[in-house]
Amino acid sequence: MDAFFVSVEELRDPSLKGKPVVVGGKGPERGVVSAASYTARKFGVHSALPLRTAYQLCPQAIFLEGNPKLYREYSQKVHDVMRRFSPKVEQVSIDEAYLDMAGTERLLGRPLAAAHRLHEAVTAETALPCSIGIGTSRLVAKMCSDLAKPNGVLSVEPGAEAAFLAPLEVSRIPGVGRVMQSKLEEMGIRRIGQLQGLNDNALGRFGQWGSALAAKARGEDGGGWFDHAVGARELPKSISHETTFGEDTADAVLIDATLAKLVQLVARRLREHGLWSRTIQIKLRYTDFTTFTRAKTLDEATQLDNVILETVRRLFRENWSGRKVRLLGVQAGSLTDPAGQLGLLDEDERKKWGRLLAATDQLRDRFGESAVGLAGAMKHGRRERIHENPAGLPGKTKDEG
């Protein structure tokens, strides 16, 4: 989707069209930009930029808090359209998805024709602009769609991948960030074509990343989440939520409420994925940005709020210095399929909790996240925020509250 959050905001209020719009917060407060309109981007504002910096760059922009619920509704609408085009849809973030079109030619025509029909369908049903890239790999498709923006369709024919990529800058490759870019620059490499010319040894010093990078330069999927098949059920390695306080705090009650809230979010996602976790980790960042993570491995895997919260509270108690806290995070790791071992002493109680939490999950599905929760979490007036294409990774979202 093109400038997804902003496009949705423009639908709600057409007067925003063509103006610099920043979604993420009401002004130069703490937090980061979650989306910026194309007009705002001309001033150098982009997502993940601190709001204060965005304000300095573009004080005339219209700053909006955003409307996560509405964005999710539109995301779901687009998803429904995509499902009509392919059974294999892999949604990688709220505004980005891959479709495996193999075998759909008889039904929908050649990929380029199908893409135009998809584009028309999305426009007809949501009135939102989107861009579609077509390629023989997800990598090429993604890079095409980036180049097709705004509101375009671009296809690279099979066999033409390397030639298409050659003139592009290496930073266009998903996964090549500022650090990698500067390392490559030290080697004199700026364009993807130069990467293609290297033998595999030259990238050997980057280890696994090097071989993935060489594959990417040729237009192939490789490395990280590119490794598995489109639409294959992917198990996240960990599930985490974190939150930054509006104002740093040493208020034990507020901190405890925040932990409870984070635990609730993590446990809910565990249940959504049908996963149990054995390793619970907390993340703690103080005002001076010193950051600690501390983990505990449980005797048996769990997906229950109360068990995770108990562990999180203990980890926090044992590790908090009493100083003001800037950020808190909770992570559930060592994820496994259903916990097998039945308990001797507390099986009835565990079953009761399981049923109770299944019921609260249903309530939240119907009435929203804050419909019901642990009493301890209520003191935390956490505002939900979501981001366009956060890290592109499953099982990872970030909340700023």
Which residues here bind another protein, judged by CB under 8 A?
Answer: 298-300, 310-311, 314, 336, 338, 340-347
When the beta carbons of 249 and 334 are compared against another protein, the nearer one is 334
d(C-alpha 20, C-alpha 36), whole Å: 8
Query: Is residue 400 within 8 Å of 47, Cβ to Cβ?
Result: no
In the complex, minimum distance from the CB of residue 353 to another protein, in angstroms, rounded to a whole number: 15
Q: Which is nearer to another protein, 73 or 337 (CB)?
A: 337
Nearer to another protein, 314 or 383 (CB): 314
Under 8 Å between Cβ of 259 and 330:
yes
Taking the least distance from each CB to another protein, the nearer of 344 and 375 is: 344
Question: Burial, 217: exposed, middle or buried (Cβ in 10 Å; 0-12, 13-18, 19+)?
Answer: buried
**Which among 109, 117, 173 has a CA at the least distance from the CA of 140?**
173
Contacts of 94 (CB under 8 A, 6+ apart): 4, 71, 72, 75, 386, 387, 388, 389
Distances (CA, A) of 196 to 162, 167, 215, 390: 8, 11, 9, 29
Cα–Cα distance for residue pair 397/241, rounded to 1 Å: 6
What are the structure tokens assigned to 123, written together?
Answer: 């426009």
Rounded Cα–Cα distance for residues 378 and 305 (Å): 14
**Beta carbon of residue 310, minimum distance to another protein (angstroms, whole number):** 7
Peptide bond into 150 cis (omega under 30): yes
> Considering the complex, what minimum distance in angstroms separates the CB of residue 296 from another protein?
9
Cβ closest to another protein, residue 100 vs residue 310: 310
Which residue among the candidates 10, 65, 73, 96 is catalytic per the annotation? 96
Smallest distance from another protein to CB 337, Å: 10
Find residue 154's DSSP bridge partners.
133
Q: How far apart are CA 13 and CA 10, in angstroms?
A: 5
| Nearest residue (CB) to another protein, 197 versus 343 | 343
Least distance from another protein to the Cβ atom of residue 278, Å: 8
Q: Angle at which helices 68-85 and 4-12 pack, to 10 degrees?
A: 110
> Measured from the CB of residue 229, what is the shortest distance to another protein in angstroms?
19
Active site includes 347?
no
**d(Cα 19, Cα 10) in Å, to the nearest integer?**
10
Catalytically annotated residues: 96
